[in-house]
Chain A
Amino acid sequence: MLVVPAVIGVLFLVLPFAGLLVRAPWSTMGARVTDPAVLSALWLSLSTAGVATAVSLLLGVPLAWLLARTDFPGRRFVRALVTVPLVIPPVVGGVALLLVLGRNGLVGRHLDAWFGLTLPFTPAAVVIAQVFVAMPFLVISVEGALRGADRRYEEAAATLGASRATVFARVTLPMVLPGIGAGAALCWARALGEFGATITFAGNFPGTTQTMPLAVYIAMQRDPEAAIVLSLVLLLVSLAVLATLRERWVNAR
């Protein structure tokens, strides 16, 4: 009984991609994929998503630990706040980032005046946009893993004299590593697909801020075939990375 809706569900999610495959201009595919503009967008996407994942790990894992292992006033509220970027439209995030970190933004104004630093229209802005929308995925995964982990090991380590930092580095971290890996994979994939916040906050310039999703959107305005090719490349890369990473981290348990 459950098979029918499940099959419809799969078809609904997979058929659009079949459409991409059917309409793809296979004869000119090779030339289009190796177009320097495509390669530069792909490289920018891969590298910014990589940096965004690293930043998210650096900030997100401690944040997840704080949410899962400590108790402070307003913890529930903070947790809700942290996951807000998951549900708001990314373009709203872009507007918010622009108003805060833009050249005339609340914080950006001072960055500009004091350090001559302008974030919009730079690869750094792409990374910031990606971190904003993708980090919650990591935080949620890691927090879940931390809550699921057996705390007795940590307590045992603590009773044997290990400091809090040692417990975290030697006991907690290895225990939740699969959760961190899965979270990082999700975070990376979300960063790779990020569009709305990027085009709003970072702008769109080939080689500097034009990531693959932006290139797809802009190509769709005039050359749908190019957009199909770019979409396929992005799809393939995401699938490949997600498949390997999920295989490694999620099923490793």
Chain B
Amino acid sequence: MREAARRPFRADPCRADLLCVGRRARRVRGPVAVLAAALGLTACSAGDAGSGGEGGHGLSGDLTVLAAASLTDVFTAIAEDFEEEHPRARITLNFAGSSELAQQIDSGAPADVFAAANTSTMEQVVGGQGLEPDWAAEHGTDGLVFATNTLRIAVPPDNPAQITGFADLAADGVQVAVCAEQVPCGAATRAAMAASGVEVTPVTLEEDVRAVLTKVELGEVDAGLVYATDVASAHGRVEGLEFPEAEEAVNEYPIGVLAGSGAPDLAAAWIEAVTSGEGAAVLAEAGFGTP
């Protein structure tokens, strides 16, 4: 039985010998490594040329982008275009709550670009690991604001509580869901309340803005405070009401190349794509404002 099992390997002694496989693999890996290094070099030079104008087609490599969950659709769309334009570049997108991502970055998660849902979260990262010095020197040490998001009052389509403005949220018997103050949308909600002088007593402080949206969609609350982008993403399942007090709580989204990025040029090119005309169009379609 043993003999029979071993026989096929005899034909190719290399297959029976793990070390031998290793040697073969190394033999293959050698040229690949050289090639990769060469590509890396060309990527760098192309990137350097690209930063001056429109010549970034030679960009290649892996880019890890950490982004606020609210950017999911937008960044996914931009990444598709980007990879089409730069076939040798591979974008890995990782979406989560901004503060969660900031913590991950501060504890050493490898990443090249961070896009946060508010400036204070970016400041947290800047105070820790920091941004890539060359990029920061050109675009700002606190990152580049590339999008804004404004609060809306989300109500179920039939608007059961007949909400027309911010003051209505404080009315008796109106059930309102808002974000907990610890998350960015909650901070914005607080700012809107301070600006209007209307103290809304919510029935729940949700852990993120999507949870607020869900409670409105399900009709469990009469209204919720969410972002314009959330209303857009609900595709008619909620109605979004603009209110003037929201102007006091506009949320700014900063983006930056992280210090220690292994692909700073690719990272810079990605940020250029996000801030380009096409990027802005995708952002606007999703409900974002652009600065």
Contact = CB atoms under 8 A, between A and B. Distances in A.
Contacts of A224: 103
A180 B183 CA distance: 42
A118 B215 CA distance: 14
Most buried by B among A99, A121, A199: A121
Contacts of A118: 175
Contacts of A121: 175, 203-204, 220
Contacts of A102: 218-220
Contact of B207 (A99, A209, A221): A221
Interface stretch (A62-70, A138-146, A200-208, A236-244): A200-208
A27 B52 CA distance: 53
A222 B204 contact: no
A184 interface: no
Interface residues of A, number: 23
A99 B207 CA distance: 19
A204 B205 contact: yes
Given A204-B180, A221-B183, A222-B182, A199 B207 contact: yes
Contacts, number: 58
Contacts of A208: 203
Contact of B219 (A103, A204, A221, A223): A103
A203 B97 contact: no
Contacts of A199: 207, 211
B103 A205 contact: no
B109 to A, nearest CB: 16
A203 B182 contact: no
A183 interface: no
B280 interface: no
Interface string B217-247: 0111000000000000000000000000000
A219 B220 contact: no
A207 to B, nearest CB: 11
17 contacts: A98-B218, A102-B219, A102-B220, A104-B218, A104-B219, A104-B220, A118-B175, A120-B204, A121-B203, A199-B207, A203-B204, A204-B180, A204-B207, A205-B203, A205-B205, A221-B99, A221-B183
Interface of B: 97, 99-100, 103, 175, 177, 180, 182-183, 202-207, 211, 215, 218-220
